Structure 1
Amino acid sequence: MGLVFTTPIGTPLDPSNFDKSFKELLSRADISAIRFHDLRHTFATFLIAEGTPPRVVMELLGHSQIGVTMNTYAHVLPIVSSPAVEQIARLLLGQPSTV
């Protein structure tokens, strides 16, 4: 399996250099500091909130058992039908608030 992140010449990227570049990108995009791994959780949370079947989320994340996915993201399930989810979606899409 190949590398996901490499230097311009294809060698493994030093983790500290990647972290520095990631933080610079966040800063330029005016996004609060987060860990790179937090993107994985955001991805999974959005999928679940949009109604993606848990088994599909499990496969996309590479979990070997559905229990891992459900235990990790169970906190998302109660908010799936919440008006807050709709409000966040409107904010992310730049649509006017209904509140």
Structure 2
Amino acid sequence: MPPSPGDVVRRLLDAANAHDLDAVLRCSTELTATGTHTGPYLTVGGELLAPPGGHISVRGCWFSHLRDDLVAGQHLYYDQLEIYAPLGLRLPLSFGDDGA
């Protein structure tokens, strides 16, 4: 069973208060980013979408990887459909050859 949000927050605060950078960065971070689409957007298919000015909200999370007390890498994961849906787009339904 995954930890509750309260457990994760408590673990993160305890690590921050103890100045334990390794423990802080071992905690995954979940986020919600919101904004207004005011600039061009490059779609998965390579098309450039003109800015429609619509509101976008997308959930995501990232994981940090440490090496010698430094951040050696980060991985960000987000739901592309949450970006595409408000823009009236959908992900490509075919995989592999377009002719298949």
Greater Cα radius of gyration, structure 1 or 2: 2
Which TM-score applies when normalising by structure 2? Answer: 0.24
Greater share of strand residues, 1 or 2? 2
Higher helix share: 1
Larger RCO, structure (CA 8 Å, separation 6 or more): 2
